[in-house]
Structure 1
């Protein structure tokens, strides 16, 4: 068995009493205290996540922009320097290779932040489809990645780097100094809350982590693990590769048609995806809130009037709502908000309502 990779913060996590889990070949903190406590801290104050297992791929050169445009579904023409956008890599069939954030660092230099489980695949995919004068480089060990998330995240961040960051829009970027360490920061995240994702040099991550925790402690900032990150993203209705997204699922089915820009011209998967945007799809991703006790899990059937109409892709007990919630795909004709369905949990049919995403809004 291959040795698991560790983030540069591993020793700090261990000293803080973290419980670890294997994820995508990494040994990462699952939780430090109770999952619900970490979750609610992010909803009410702020949490700090180590997501250094995420992959980073750098593209540079005269054709870097053209490569990004041909590979990704969103329109990189909309990006000015130091801006980011959510996008996807797709197969010619429209299936999802991965979802990612695209950062435009300079006119001819881009950074792709990809899912940890897909880093090697995405790197190979990008190299195989890049224009000849685009240099593609695995930059994953150049950066540690921290995520400061929650309604008090910007207050904490501004106390360290200055009030100007308050004017940075969603997906806007800036470079700052945190305790003497330069970091690339974007106003983004995976929790449904306001927040910041910070790329800093790998070896400087412990100092940045400690500086953030110390500055945020009076406001209620706590370290948070991957378990809370997952329950937060389910409440926010955000897809996770391997659950809501895979090579047999398209962005349009997943409700991500807004990130598919047909007006920009041809890109990998555009023929299928643009047709789907115009003509519709047979199934759609929906949010589920159970009205009876139970927790939906990936693979559970979704039923209505004794008929199979879909399948659960993710589920948990919502720390905010106090009931089981989930995401899943159902037949498009049944994907309307307010529809009452049933989730097959072992031998029982448990009632649930289809709800709009996000399932929990930031002001709850």
Structure 2
């Protein structure tokens, strides 16, 4: 018998490749990288058709050093010089003369395929400036917008100790907290505190005290339980709250930025008792370190400190037990806080090396404080893939107008989206849309231009709809599925020409997925991100046509707005021949007559202003996400993460109409699995009408007696009917209209709400209003 070799742990962890540094250069912008002799620089054209320029400067005297990377200057490569001319401070910082800016090297022609790359090895110390040249293209020229470059650096001599990222501004204080220690410091009201995980996967406990109260001998500290309660989330869960409060229910801190998204704000900082119980008596611990750091401020010691445990990856499992695993944080990740009163703070670098809490290897934490005069955008980080660079929450071109009407925003997939508006509220906004008209910023939708001779063939293969039947000027709703039949996303597809399409969806990964399929098939097609160049508002409601018709000019080759058909679009101008270019589609997400207006973000304020002014005589209201959710549930419209996921197919999501298995003769991804699933359905999306006034919620179990037979996917109180309604994924044996089921509350057994199965469309099932 052959002896069995030892088992070795080799998990796939794409985010933590230690041998390279990854960053991005946005389309039309510039990135800077410092290189040492022997370092390898790789520049990648992520989406294809994107030019690239590189300027290398001597690290010491700032002169041109292209030869150190084996490059020569191209007189036509002037994009970097043009950017530098508009940034004199940057020129001075780089040691350049504004009168004689050196020329750059063009890295490749403009017809490159997606993933095209070049690599260079530095012969001496240089500063490399890499740009993705381009200017914003008209809306009716899909695919011409500048797109991002990816930068990968492999160091010839990797540092054993990673460097902290550059400060966000000039710090007031900047210090390192070594592993197994804690440091106390003070911040004044309005100042900022940045907690940086230098090497990644390192926890940092944080406590704060009211400085004025300490001066009077009173210990008033940050209280996680009060914070959870005041934020309406008394059940502990991973993550951070927007504000943290003290035991007197007074606000102490607000979170300004978080590049990780996974923290523990419900458990204690690690204690001596924990290590004792694990067989490690005398082990350093954060609670004792916090007590020692606070001794100088007269704060009594505690054996265990309630703390915000930054970067700590804990959760609560189905058995109500606390679990832990390695943190999500990568090198340089951080949390930025703003003090709301004068505080004494303590930050630790956790010494835990006996479990995954710090990736088994405790490292440094960097703490920086900044003046109250600084201004930082409020942001969370989004990564389209685990190894992608973080992108902070963005504001759409319409944000200046929506922000003037409300302070209530939520981060929706990396964009700030209004939830409701002051002076209106979800009910008023809902009735405004149903009875008159409403306008909503939907710029968070992802847009991908699919161009090239194989564009139609790729989309025919990747979408469930029969794309070959799609006419120029038409829009179609479709699902995008994985091979097993589960849904990757849903969205709408616009056709601009024989080889020009725009896919509009909710998922960043959809563009990566399309690119991967094109590469596998060897297709001549490009998938270009257009989300940053095309922003959109939805104008919905019975008065939407009357509001919009006087504002949109179209040439003779395009339909006029009053003749625009359902799921069609036009390319026109705002207010006349010389107005801002816009695209108007007769689409929406409310079940009402409505339109979406697409424009460049630079023109967004003007578009909003014109629509808003024209809409006032018609009773136009702004529309937030809370009201939109009620509108779309009444109309039976699917929402990602609720009605569908990668575990549900389009039939189970209630959108089987977009899978023409009988008439679409071409193969497409997921077809075989969908044939099997459609022949043997297990679950169906239905509507539920609840008895009484108690609400259901997303995730509530649905029962026949003791057995669970379904789950609520979305629920709301329908203002027009006055009833509680829900969408439900239900066992097909119970899906007949009129069947009585029970929605489980509490633990699913102790409290039940009777409900009757209905069609999953509660409002205008014939779609007479949207077609009007």
Same-fold call, TM cutoff 0.5:
yes
* Superposition map of 1:308-327 within 5 A: 308-327=708-727
Query: Root-mean-square deviation (CA), in Å?
Result: 1.6
The normalised TM-score by structure 1 is 0.95
Determine which of 327, 338, 352 is the counterpart of 2:738.
338
User: Do the aligned residues in 1 keep the contact of 2:401 with 2:608 (CA within 8 Å)?
Assistant: no
Aligned to 1:126: 514
Q: CA deviation at 1:18?
A: 4.2
Determine which of 162, 171, 177 is the counterpart of 2:567.
171
The normalised TM-score by structure 2 is 0.46
* Superposition map of 1:254-333 within 5 A: 254-262=653-661, 263-264=663-664, 265-277=666-678, 279-333=679-733
- Using the alignment, how far apart are the partners of 1:26 and 1:339 within structure 2? 41
- Using the alignment, how far apart are the partners of 2:719 and 2:413 within structure 1? 26
Give the structure with the larger helix fraction. Answer: 1
What SS is found at the alignment partner of 1:31? coil
Q: CA deviation at 1:39?
A: 0.7
* Superposition map of 1:1-364 within 5 A: 1-2=258-259, 3=379, 4-32=393-421, 33-115=424-506, 118-119=507-508, 121-130=509-518, 131-161=522-552, 164-179=560-575, 180-262=579-661, 263-264=663-664, 265-277=666-678, 279-346=679-746, 347-361=750-764
Structure 1 unaligned blocks of 5 or more: none
- Using the alignment, how far apart are the partners of 2:551 and 2:530 within structure 1? 27
Residues 276-323 of structure 1 show CA distances to partners (whole Å, capped at 9, x for unaligned) of: 33x141100111121212111111011123432100011122222222
Q: CA deviation at 1:87?
A: 0.4
Residues 137-170 of structure 1 show CA distances to partners (whole Å, capped at 9, x for unaligned) of: 1111110111011111112121322693222221
Q: CA deviation at 1:275?
A: 3.1
What SS is found at the alignment partner of 1:6? coil
What SS is found at the alignment partner of 1:218? helix
What SS is found at the alignment partner of 1:170? coil
Q: CA deviation at 1:335?
A: 0.8
What SS is found at the alignment partner of 2:523? coil
- Using the alignment, how far apart are the partners of 1:164 and 1:136 within structure 2? 30
- Using the alignment, how far apart are the partners of 2:398 and 2:563 within structure 1? 30
Q: Which has the higher contact order (CA 8 A, sep 6+)?
A: 1
Number of residue pairs aligned between Structure 1 and Structure 2? 360
- Using the alignment, how far apart are the partners of 1:199 and 1:133 within structure 2? 28
Computing the radius of gyration over CA atoms, which structure comes out larger, 1 or 2? 2
- Using the alignment, how far apart are the partners of 2:467 and 2:523 within structure 1? 19
Aligned to 2:338: none
Q: CA deviation at 1:79?
A: 0.9
- Using the alignment, how far apart are the partners of 1:140 and 1:26 within structure 2? 11
- Using the alignment, how far apart are the partners of 2:448 and 2:466 within structure 1? 18
- Using the alignment, how far apart are the partners of 1:237 and 1:188 within structure 2? 15
Structure 1: which 4+ aligned runs deviate by more than 6 Å? Answer: none
What SS is found at the alignment partner of 2:560? helix
User: Do the aligned residues in 2 keep the contact of 1:149 with 1:189 (CA within 8 Å)?
Assistant: yes
Give the structure with the larger strand fraction. Answer: 1
User: Do the aligned residues in 2 keep the contact of 1:59 with 1:111 (CA within 8 Å)?
Assistant: yes
What SS is found at the alignment partner of 1:101? strand
- Using the alignment, how far apart are the partners of 1:155 and 1:345 within structure 2? 45
- Using the alignment, how far apart are the partners of 1:280 and 1:236 within structure 2? 27
User: Do the aligned residues in 2 keep the contact of 1:288 with 1:325 (CA within 8 Å)?
Assistant: yes
Q: 1:310 to 1:240 in 2, by over 3 A?
A: same
Structure 2 unaligned blocks of 5 or more: 1-257, 260-378, 380-392, 554-558
- Using the alignment, how far apart are the partners of 2:550 and 2:720 within structure 1? 28
User: Do the aligned residues in 1 keep the contact of 2:398 with 2:601 (CA within 8 Å)?
Assistant: no
- Using the alignment, how far apart are the partners of 1:159 and 1:335 within structure 2? 46
Q: 1:239 to 1:143 in 2, by over 3 A?
A: same
Of 106-115 and 177-186, deviating more is 177-186
Of 58-67 and 351-360, deviating more is 351-360
Residues 220-277 of structure 1 show CA distances to partners (whole Å, capped at 9, x for unaligned) of: 1111111111111011111101111100000012222211122322100011113333
User: Do the aligned residues in 1 keep the contact of 2:538 with 2:595 (CA within 8 Å)?
Assistant: yes
Residues 69-125 of structure 1 show CA distances to partners (whole Å, capped at 9, x for unaligned) of: 00000011111111110001100000000001011111100000011xx22x11110
Q: CA deviation at 1:183?
A: 1.0
Q: CA deviation at 1:345?
A: 2.2
Q: CA deviation at 1:363?
A: 7.3
- Using the alignment, how far apart are the partners of 1:308 and 1:88 within structure 2? 28
Of 191-200 and 314-323, deviating more is 314-323
- Using the alignment, how far apart are the partners of 2:413 and 2:654 within structure 1? 26
What SS is found at the alignment partner of 1:281? coil
Aligned to 2:36: none
